[in-house]
Amino acid sequence: MEELRLNNTLVEDQQGEIYAPAEQSKKIFKQHFYIESYGCQMNFADSEVVASILQGAGFGPTINQEEADLILINTCSIREKAEQTVRKRLTTFKSLKRRKKSLLIGVLGCMAERLKLKFLEEEKLVDLVVGPDAYRSLPSLIEEAAGGQKAVNVLLSREETYADIAPVRLDSNGISAFVSIMRGCNNMCSFCVVPFTRGRERSRDPFSILQECRELYENGYREITLLGQNVDSYYFATSQETSTSFTFAGLLEQVAKIAPDLLVRFSTSHPKDITDEVLFTMASYENICKYIHLPVQSGSSRILQLMNRTYTREWYMAKVDRIRALLPDCGISADIIAGFCTEEEIDHQDTLSIMENCKYDFSYMFFYSERPGTLAARRYTDDVPEGIKKRRLEEIVSLQNRLSLESNKRDIGKTFKVLIEGDSKKDSAAWKARNSQNKVVVFPKENHAYKKGDFANVTIMDCTQGTLKGKIIVH
């Protein structure tokens, strides 16, 4: 979601990103894989698990498609456009295969799960189709595919969390890492394909999570984002006999305790599940970042009910008030869908007014895209004309632009402790950093001896809608 967040005003689906080989894997491999990932951060984290499994099977990563013996595309099904992008990429890869007969092409992730055999049988675009819970079978599937068989495993699991697999960090800045704490989703938001592509919710063993986080810290990482579709419902019974267990608040606290200079973030929180206990834990640890992504989807209680979100407009606003009361400096962002089934102008106005009320620092905004098999596709008609969906989305985006700018302007004059992520893209004489509220802060390096991964105190002098501009304060 990184690039999307910078824009603040996402309309398009995320573009695929090409992974660079991990620094630590300079080992010489006889065979190479090239992987592209689409969709949410969890898919990106999965690609790192896949990289680890493939290295175990003798495949090293490459960023050069021409050099690859295996091309994998980790796909997303969340909106139709995401799927179209993948199809285009597959046609490009197929032309590579014409030149190199031994090249294997595989589809991983949510589209693999959704379309299963379709890729192999009807379209003959790929050699391998592997769903999100079947990555351990990749080495044997690659062998089958190399032997000329069509290799498929799209079985979903109730247990798989890849807890014991140490992800190979791909395309990492060496400072920020994502750690998967759970998989799947048990919510049945009527618009959403995720419960079908990712299966039942299950939480990963907390000891393996803590171990991974500790190792990241020891390797120089300074920011960890705990990932799940609904992190607040994390639950792991560690001992049946003593009935000890971990809730999300407990896990968050343990990760925060690893080191005071390790920042902890998490995503995503379903508004219905985020508890006071989590908010209190956030308040107690300075290194737990004061930022909550709290998707609202719509501001209309009628639409929220059709979406099966299980909260009303009023309930959501009360939750935001509670967050602001316990964590006055907390950044809040949202996901918003324009033009869901039966949405009328009055519902749309409710969405605009809830945005004003909650003063989101930024949002990810989409127009509704019907997904086959979802509750909404079965029960309701996708009846808002495309032109109206797009016009409403534009209104939502321009309101968010204003709210983001206002939010950034409120920060002028404030001083933040920020984590330096690297050079500013536009200016190598400036650092790009992030504050606790997850806002990007750029500031001139001047003559100070800071480096990537350091913390700096920066006073904000100016801003745009997407960035805070500051100056280092030396105490």
Contacts with ligand SAH by CB under 6 A lie at 78-79, 191-192, 194, 229-230, 268, 270, 295, 297, 335, 337, 366, 368-369, 371
Query: Could you tell me where the DSSP H helices lie in 257-306?
Result: 276-284, 301-306
SS3 at position 333: strand
181, 209 in Cβ contact below 8 A? yes
Q: What is the helix (H) or strand (E) element at residue 422, kind and residue range? A: strand 415-423
Report the partner that residue 290 touches, choosing among ligand SAH, ligand F3S, ligand SF4, none (CB closer than 5 to 8 A by kind): none
Q: Which lies closer to ligand SAH via its Cβ, residue 54 or residue 399? A: 399
368 binds, among ligand SF4, ligand F3S, ligand SAH, none (CB under 5 to 8 A by kind): ligand SAH
Residue type, 332: I
The yes or no reply on residue 194 touching ligand F3S (CB under 6 A) is yes
In whole angstroms, what is the distance from residue 32 CA to residue 263 CA? 34
Report the b/e string of 210-239 with b at 16+ CB within 10 A.
bebbeebbeeebbbbbbbbbbbbbbebeee
Residue among 40 and 251 whose Cβ is closer to ligand F3S: 40
Distance of CA 179 to the CA centre of its chain: 11
With CA atoms as reference, report the closest residue to 396 among 360, 448, 437.
360
CB closer to ligand SAH out of 371 and 439 = 371
3-state secondary structure (DSSP) of residue 467: coil
Distance, CA of 294 to CA of 332 (rounded, Å): 7
Q: Applying CB under 6 A, does 42 fall inside the site for ligand F3S?
A: yes
> Of 16-24, 189-197, 244-252, 400-408, which segment contacts ligand F3S by CB under 6 A?
189-197
The residue among 332, 309, 311 whose CA lies nearest residue 320 is 332
Task: Return the number of the residue (65 or 187) whose C-beta is nearest ligand SF4.
Answer: 187
CB of 423 to ligand SAH, least distance (A): 30
What's the closest the beta carbon of residue 3 comes to ligand SAH, in angstroms? 15
Nearer to ligand SAH, 77 or 153 (CB): 77
For ligand F3S, the binding residue among 10, 45, 76, 226 (CB under 6 A) is 76
Q: Are 357 and 332 in contact (CB under 8 A)?
A: no
Residues of this chain that bind ligand SF4 (CB under 6 A)? 185, 187, 189, 192, 194-195, 229-230, 270
Quick one: 22 or 292, whose CB is closer to ligand SF4? Answer: 292
For 99, the token pair is 């030149």
Shortest Cβ contact with ligand F3S: which residue?
39
CB of 204: closest distance to ligand SAH in angstroms?
Answer: 16
- State the minimum distance, in angstroms, from the CB of residue 195 to ligand SF4: 5
Number of amino acids touching ligand F3S (CB under 6 A): 13
Rounded to an integer, what distance in angstroms lies between the CA atom of residue 40 and that of residue 110?
10
**Residue 40 in the binding site for ligand F3S (CB under 6 A):** yes
Angle of CA points 49, 51, 54, to nearest 5°: 110
Q: Which does 371 bind (CB under 5 to 8 A by kind): ligand F3S, ligand SF4, ligand SAH, none?
A: ligand SAH
| Ramachandran class of 444: left when φ > 0, alpha when ψ lies in -120 to 50, beta otherwise | beta
The first and second tokens of residue 411, run together, are: 């920060």
Backbone angles phi, psi at 195, to 5 degrees: -60, -25
Q: Which is nearer to ligand SAH, 103 or 193 (CB)?
A: 193
From the list 8, 9, 43, 298, which residue makes contact with ligand F3S (rule: CB under 6 A)?
43
Nearest CB to ligand SAH, comparing residues 60 and 295: 295
Give the integer Cα–Cα distance in Å for 444 and 428. 9
Q: How far is the CB of 82 from ligand F3S (least distance, A)?
A: 6
195 binds, among ligand SAH, ligand SF4, ligand F3S, none (CB under 5 to 8 A by kind): ligand SF4
Strands 182-183 and 202-203, sheet pairing = antiparallel
Residue 39 lies near ligand F3S (rule: CB under 6 A): yes
